[in-house]
Structure 1
Amino acid sequence: MTGRVVVIGVGNPLRGDDGAGPAVVEALRGRVPEDIVLAVSDGEPGRMLELWRGADTAVVVEALHLRPARPGGLHTLTATEAASRGTGTASTHALGLGECLALAEALDLLPRKVVVHAVEVAAVELGTGLSDPVRSALPELIERTSASVLEAREGNHQRQPSGGAPLP
């Protein structure tokens, strides 16, 4: 165990509400401890696997395109729940977060804990800016993500003795 916590905002700010993940990461800069890795990804599985390599906890922030849609609706999912949604993401790439998590699990490359915070989207067409429902949900999404980061960090510190070496 490394104690490493990574936050990955998945999405593309040039595709409307798909920019919610990157917006959360930007909002967390200066708000979470400096040892927390903050990254933005387009969700391509190889890059995602590399970003969370060696992490004990990965907190992923993603946009979901569900039917029926409830734009601005928030969800917190485990890796298993997110993987079961497969093609339910509003990703602008061929494979979604669900497929990426399933691949990581098959390759035994998942961090010990994965938390996915997601917001349901209204639109992911080309164009910048979040829709009103997603923009309204952003403060709560940021708060949930921040709480997951702090919980993971505290949990990692509690598992290490005072000398800093991980417990067996």
Structure 2
Amino acid sequence: MARKGVIGLGNPVRGDDGISEVLIRRLSEESSPSDVEFIDIGTGSVKALHVLGRLDKAIILDAVFFGGDPGEYVFFDPEEVKSLKRSKNPHDSTLFEVLELSRKMEELPEEIQIMGIQPKDVSLKEGLSPELESEIPKLLNALRQKIAEL
């Protein structure tokens, strides 16, 4: 059986950049498929290197500025990471590097998707913006569907 995981990156004290943590927590509280691991990496995306190495299939969640409305999302593959403007946080500068290093070490999952979620506000503050908070049900549904496809 394939080892599957959903990995969240983000900083909960940077407003909407904490969306991944919220989604990982909510999904892990549900009766989700038992063969899927839910992992909140936070801002230490270097930790993702170790996690990616043990998975066959993965979905990475991250706040990404792509010009959409808050809560809008896009799924893309690691090759497309370079073209997107990610939020201005330390974990963002290393996401591409971690994916590249994983590839070079031949520890990149055979199937990997990144779910980029458009934030509204990533300033220093705890909690999500009301606009992003209202989109959580839609984001959870999209994730459940993507997990079912893994």
Structure 2: 5+ residue stretches without partners: none
> What is the distance in 2 between the residues matched to 1:107 and 1:91?
27
- Shift in CA distance, 31/79, structure 1 to aligned 2, threshold 3 Å: farther
Runs of 4+, deviation exceeding 3 Å: none
Within 5 A, what are the aligned runs for 1:7-156?
7-29=6-28, 30-66=30-66, 68=67, 70-82=69-81, 84-85=82-83, 88-90=85-87, 92-93=89-90, 95-152=93-150
CA contact (8 A) 1:52 1:58 kept: yes
> What is the distance in 2 between the residues matched to 1:96 and 1:143?
28
For residues 118-142 of structure 1, the C-alpha deviation after alignment (integer angstroms, 9 at most, x for no partner) is 2111111111111122222222221
> What is the distance in 2 between the residues matched to 1:149 and 1:123?
27
**Once the 2 structures are TM-superposed, how far is the Cα of residue 91 of structure 1 from its aligned partner?**
5.3
Across the aligned residues of Structure 1 and Structure 2, the Cα RMSD in angstroms comes to 2.0
Higher share in strand: 2
Query: Structure 1: which amino acid aligns with 2:76?
Result: L
Percentage identity across paired residues of the two chains = 25
CA contact (8 A) 2:16 2:119 kept: yes
CA contact (8 A) 2:13 2:126 kept: yes
> What is the distance in 1 between the residues matched to 2:124 and 2:95?
20
| TM-score, normalising length: structure 2 | 0.86
**Once the 2 structures are TM-superposed, how far is the Cα of residue 57 of structure 1 from its aligned partner?**
0.5
1:156 alignment partner in structure 2: none
For residues 78-127 of structure 1, the C-alpha deviation after alignment (integer angstroms, 9 at most, x for no partner) is 12122x236x2225216242332223223322100011112111111111
Query: Structure 1: which amino acid aligns with 2:148?
Result: L
**Once the 2 structures are TM-superposed, how far is the Cα of residue 43 of structure 1 from its aligned partner?**
4.4
Of the two, which has the highest radius of gyration?
1
Structure 1: 5+ residue stretches without partners: 153-168
